[in-house]
């Protein structure tokens, strides 16, 4: 915490120095929004290049002055929280003055900018993200406040903890971990008792695009147990994008890649090639929208696809067919096909990429 306080004091000192010299104070931020500042590294995923381009948030420019003021406001809130060892969620910060901040996304963006500027992970700034992910299966742990959590209890789900860094005493006999894209599929697998039937496993869902805590938990479980991690996604560009976030990270959070990515993650399904292999009827597939086409084209150009020839082949199949499928498409074969046939066969005979 002393490092966090010192980092904030340095920023404020620079502001005061500028004012003493009758200069307009400026905050300098790394440019997080473009691919220009990103490099792909096999062992980490997408990360920021050491000497990346920066942008200035000036206090004397009408366009950036409001952001400058909001950054100082949030820095002062962080400083107070670190001093008093209290925590707040991003929502708490937004609701402390909704008129001032205007929207939740403004707060989220500034917090990421501050984290990147200070080179300090968001959790160390005493800001917790609101969690939306779920975890179930063969896992128990103790939360920071001493609460014992057992995820093994049948069909109940546990919300991903809001302070992943603070959990300890992790125990699991799981043979693998399954990341499920959607809540509905996750619940279905729970109802079918999938976590226990095939082999003890841990299941996680970020319920769509994963929040920070879900990604942190996947990484923590990987660091702790070193078991294979598989993803179960829709066979569409959006599903592939979500899988890539878990595996390689995202451009906007590339400055924290080391804590968030697990490059050893494998694509288990639903593969575009599975649709043909299983003779899925064309009438249950969904035609691409223009947005799907653009999203797929952008993914195909990304640096990590070049070193994944088997993934590239699957994306080519998807691009050629211009058709996508949700995991639920497997119910057209039988209602429990996913948990009774599809996943056991894949896991037993190595049907992943």
Which of 125, 100, 123, 87 lies closest to 8, judged by CA?
Answer: 125
The active-site residue out of 79, 87, 94, 95 is 95
- What phi, psi does 253 have (nearest 5°)? -110, 20
Contact 182, 329 (CB under 8 A): no
Q: How far apart are CA 257 and CA 46, in angstroms?
A: 7
Q: How many CA atoms lie within 13 A of 33 on its CB side?
A: 6
DSSP line for 148-205: EEETTSTT--EEPPS-GGG-EEEE---SEEEEES-HHHHHHHHHTTHHHHSS-EEEEE
Which of 218, 134, 144 lies closest to 176, judged by CA?
Answer: 218
Structure tokens at 120: 């300090």
Q: How far apart are CA 65 and CA 276, in angstroms?
A: 56
79 a catalytic residue? no
Taking the CA atoms of residue 264, residue 183, residue 315 and residue 247 in that order, the dihedral angle to the nearest 10 degrees is -20
- What phi, psi does 7 have (nearest 5°)? -60, -40
Q: How many CA atoms lie within 13 A of 327 on its CB side?
A: 26
* CA 107 to chain centroid: 18
Query: Known catalytic residues?
Result: 95
């Amino acid at each position: 915490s002393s490092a966090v306080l010192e980092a904030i004091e340095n920023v404020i000192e620079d502001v005061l120095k500028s004012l003493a010299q009758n200069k307009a104070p400026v905050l300098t931020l790394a440019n997080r929004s473009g691919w220009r500042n990103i490099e792909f590294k096999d062992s980490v995923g997408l990360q920021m290049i050491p000497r990346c381009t920066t942008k200035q948030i000036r206090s004397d420019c009408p366009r950036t002055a409001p952001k400058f003021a909001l950054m100082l406001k949030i820095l002062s809130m962080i400083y107070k929280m670190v001093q008093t060892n209290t925590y707040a969620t991003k929502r708490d910060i937004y609701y402390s003055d909704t008129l001032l901040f205007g929207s939740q996304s403004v707060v989220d963006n500034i917090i990421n900018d501050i984290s990147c500027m200070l080179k300090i992970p968001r959790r160390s700034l005493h800001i917790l993200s609101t969690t939306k992910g779920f975890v179930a299966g063969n896992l128990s742990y103790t939360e920071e406040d001493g609460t014992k959590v057992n995820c093994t209890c049948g069909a109940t789900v546990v919300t991903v903890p809001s302070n992943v860094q603070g959990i300890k005493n992790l125990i699991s006999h799981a043979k693998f971990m399954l990341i499920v894209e959607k809540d509905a599929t996750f619940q279905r697998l729970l109802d079918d008792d999938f976590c226990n039937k095939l082999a003890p496993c841990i299941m996680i869902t970020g319920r769509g695009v994963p929040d920070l805590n879900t990604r942190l938990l996947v990484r923590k479980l990987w660091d702790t147990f070193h078991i294979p991690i598989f993803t179960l996604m829709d066979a569409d560009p959006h599903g592939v994008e979500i899988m890539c976030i878990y595996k390689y990270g995202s451009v906007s959070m590339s400055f924290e890649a080391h804590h968030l990515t697990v490059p050893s993650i494998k694509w288990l399904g639903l593969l575009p090639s599975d649709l043909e292999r299983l003779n899925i009827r064309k009438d249950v597939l969904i035609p691409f929208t223009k947005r799907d086409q653009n999203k797929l084209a952008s993914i195909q150009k990304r640096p990590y696809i070049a070193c994944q020839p088997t993934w590239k082949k699957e994306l080519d199949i998807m691009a050629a067919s211009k058709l996508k499928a949700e995991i639920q498409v497997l119910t057209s074969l039988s209602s429990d096909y996913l948990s009774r046939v599809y996943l056991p066969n894949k896991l037993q005979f190595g049907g992943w990429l």
